[in-house]
Amino acid sequence: MMKKLVAFLLVLCFAFCFAGCNSDDLGLQTVKDEEQGIVEFNTVNSFDFSDFKKEHSDTAKTEGFVNTEPKEFHNKVDAKELAVKELPEGYKYNTIRIFYDRTEGIWMVAFSTETEEGEVTAKCSVCVEDSGYTRLVVEE
């Protein structure tokens, strides 16, 4: 009798779990702002700032930034808030991805415009130190 009760409860739990899902759900890995049409990936991936800087040395902007005052932080929300300030005026994007270099304490927020097929048509990556200073902006 106990086994049947446990089995029934498990089936009931699975039913409620599947009922909560719908076709518009992007999962916990993403957040979709329907009003602005922006998809933000919640996962913070790692990257190597030194390699990124070398790879884009000929096209990177390294001065003339907005973030020139110290503001210590350690989370992706603040990183995104500071990075948005460095976007070129009128820059349009529909996707945000966030990266972090733990060795150097630098966040990279990549704003891009992507088609429904996943093709990137424009990208602007902003690198901000944990201290709040912008280090690099790369437009692709």
So what's the pLDDT on residue 34?
A: 59
The average pLDDT across 120-127 equals 93
Q: Is the pLDDT of residue 20 over 90?
A: no
Return d(Cα 117, Cα 76) in angstroms, integer.
27
Q: 29-33, 66-70, 125-129: which has the minimum mean pLDDT?
A: 29-33
Query: At 18, is the pLDDT very low, low, confident or very high (cuts 50, 70, 90)?
Result: very low
So what's the pLDDT on residue 73?
A: 84
What are 114's strand-pairing partners? 120
The average pLDDT across 29-57 equals 81
105 vs 28, more confident: 105
Smallest CA-to-CA distance from 131 within 99, 105, 109, 97 is with 105
Q: Is the pLDDT of residue 27 over 50?
A: no
Return d(Cα 52, Cα 47) in angstroms, integer.
8
